[in-house]
Chain A
Amino acid sequence: MYSLRISALSASRLAETFHVAHLSEHTIAEVEEWTERLADAAPPPKGDGSPTRELASEERAFILNERIVTKASFEYWASRYAFCSVEGAGIKRMYPLFDSQMLALQEFARIEERIADNQLAEGILVNALKARRLGMSTLAQAAVWHRLTTQTYLQAVTASDVPAQSSYTFGIGKLMFEKLPWWLKPQLRAFSNTFPEEYELATGCHVWCHAGDSKRGMEGERGQIGRGKGPSIVHLTELATWDDTGQIDSALLPTVPYSPRALVFFESSPRGRNNWWHKHWLVSMAGHGRFTPIFIPWYAEPRKYRKPAPPDWTPSETTLAHARRCEEQGPRWLHRERVDLTREQLYWYEGTRAYYEAKDTLGDFLQEYAADPEECFVFSGRSLISVEVQQRIQDGMRPLAAAFEIAPLMDVEKAKVLEGRA
């Protein structure tokens, strides 16, 4: 549903199953027109989901087409039907995606293709290490609610570090659900709209909202997120600031099924070293466990972090050193041959860095607006060497000129053998 190849394959199989000769992809304008036309047939909230009037044959055909195509393609669903907040000022359709969101989606597609080619049987499990405000929570919630509304009998868990943040994140998905047209929105069987939020759909899907500092539950079982549930869809956010991360390893992850249908999206900005999120990231980087690491740096989204630079501005040495590091490390994470920061991006970087420096919080800036994952985790308590100096050391390092393994004793033995022969 994320890869074009898999989406096309899935759509053709569904069309065959439901005897649809030809599937159409409608434009946003066409979808809007159909939504208006079908509005008067919306079923009553407490009914069985049947429309209030008889549908014409072309209306039934349109609905079936849309149900098949949205089920097969996340992109189609998200671009036509998913609404999200616009920086807290109104709502809009999710598409076009940020470049940063596209990066994550492309990783989903790559994993999905490996699953389809029998190279992987575990589902899509990703760790997204990211800068702030790059739309990762919105994308993750869209992925969660796309599955919940197009598939049956799924269990999902969404959680952030504290209840207020969890409710906010859950609200992103709830908005998408509420704005769906009636023919794509399953009936609600039961729900709770106060923390911990919980939605049960008529399709058998169930979604729970939890928090990383949850004190709910029986003595000895408090904060055991996911225990006894077996969720195949999980979205956890702000993981670097969770109070109780033990429950993730001990209670949640063992319940996530080893199934191609599993979708687990862990995301967080970095917040210090040697915490659970740092260790979890390092483990996935080393290729252990089930997760694929995705790094979404600040420069992945050129439209967001930029500022027009005055013509007479020249970047400082520090800014240029950061740009060089982005050029070196960026291609690996952005999956491009070249990564070049624009003048506007550099001007934004220099100005914002100066602002943080003036407030003596440079460590916060460096970890959130890093060139690569290593740089994200530079800040650690009271180091004897300040963050500025650490950064300077890193910027001034020479590249490796050579590397040798040394086995002197082995050669001495060889020499002895040769001497003996002589």
Chain B
Amino acid sequence: MSQDLLSLLPLELPPGYGFHPSPPRIFPDDLYDRLLIWELPRRDQLYVLSADVGDGIGQDRSVVDITRVGTLKEPDEQVAQFVSAHVDPIGLAPLIDAIGRLYVGSDNLEALCAVECNNHGLVTQSELQLHLGYSNFFIWQYLDAADPERALSSRIGWWTTQRTRPLILARWLKKVRSLDPVTNLPDYRINSPILLEEIRSFQTVGGIREAEADPTNPNAHDDCVMTSAIGVHVSSTIQYEANEPTDQARRRMNEEKQRRAAVDQNKTEGRDYINQAFTAEEAGLPDPMQVEDYDDNAYF
């Protein structure tokens, strides 16, 4: 997309954050160090910003993902991504700040930010909170709390541990693999070619617990996968606040729609109660039992 076209996008860029249109010219090299957007911010949606923080010395990568939280109409979707191997943990904070303020949600808050706080992430998060005034952070929850009302902790951020890693990967895998039979859409839609590249070499010798980037390939990474998994987990956490998980509700609604469409089709195909398992009333015909001169009725 040319610079001119980008300037015509219906996009309110927060001023002062240094957004410069810069479409990639060489795939896939130019996909790095840029905010890639597959869907522009929509004011009636909620967004989760998940981040995995690298050390910025060209080894592991820093990744920022924006996940649009699924609704009854649409599944969770990765709508934007920023990947860099050269941004240090402190330098990443203003970038997250800019991206989070671009994807303001329907609650009028910045995107719900879940920074992985292991290793360098805590620096980034504290920079965001204390220096840049970011306000909307994911609050760590005790998933094994006996009383769900007391699940919220007093800490912010995401911690990937031996206990939480299989949890978020299991949830992520289920959503990536699931397919709504009616709409043909997955429960989590992926748009980034960098993430897909990682998925291809994200392997396991046993179960989910052992899943990792191909150890025989020095160029294989799992940063995008883990960031995406945090995004999906946080999005699900928001959805679980409702009585029924949104993806299941959406599927039920779609199945209901399909059932209604099938009934409508039956009606238009002129079927009647004799050859179908429904009543004359449902078939839109007069009930022969209610006809007064039933002696003359051909059916009897």
Contacts and interface: CB of A to CB of B under 8 A. Distances in A.
Contacts of A286: 29
A401 B16 contact: no
Given A286-B29, A406-B35, A406-B98, A392 B179 contact: yes
Q: How large is the interface on A (under 10, 10 to 19, 20 to 34, 35 or more residues)?
A: 35 or more
A380 B203 contact: yes
Given A401-B38, A402-B21, A405-B33, A383 B16 contact: no
Contacts of B204: 382, 384
Contact of B196 (A394, A398, A402, A408): A394
A390 B196 contact: yes
Given A402-B6, A402-B9, A403-B36, A397 B18 contact: no
Interface in B144-200: 173, 176-177, 179, 184-186, 189-191, 193, 196, 199-200
A257 B98 CA distance: 53
A399 B1 CA distance: 10
A380 B38 contact: no
Contacts of A400: 1, 23-24, 36-38
A297 to B, nearest CB: 18
B59 interface: no
A383 B200 contact: yes
B40 A406 contact: no
A410 B91 CA distance: 12
A258 B52 CA distance: 46
A4 interface: no
A409 B92 CA distance: 11
A85 interface: no
Interface stretch (B133-141, B210-218, B247-255, B258-266): B210-218
Nearest to B6: A402
Contacts of A379: 200
Given A380-B203, A389-B176, A390-B200, A406 B191 contact: no
B76 interface: no
Contacts of B200: 273, 378-380, 383, 390
B107 interface: no
Contact of A403 (B37, B186, B201): B37
Given A274-B219, A385-B173, A404-B20, A398 B38 contact: yes
A411 interface: yes
Contacts of B201: 273-274, 380-381, 383
Interface of A: 273-274, 286, 317, 378-386, 389-390, 392-394, 396-412, 415
Q: Which 8 A-B pairs have the closest CB atoms?
A: A407-B18, A411-B18, A408-B94, A405-B22, A402-B37, A398-B38, A404-B35, A408-B18
Interface of B: 1, 6, 9, 11, 16-24, 29, 33-40, 82, 91, 94-95, 97-99, 173, 176-177, 179, 184-186, 189-191, 193, 196, 199-205, 208, 211, 214, 216-217, 219-220
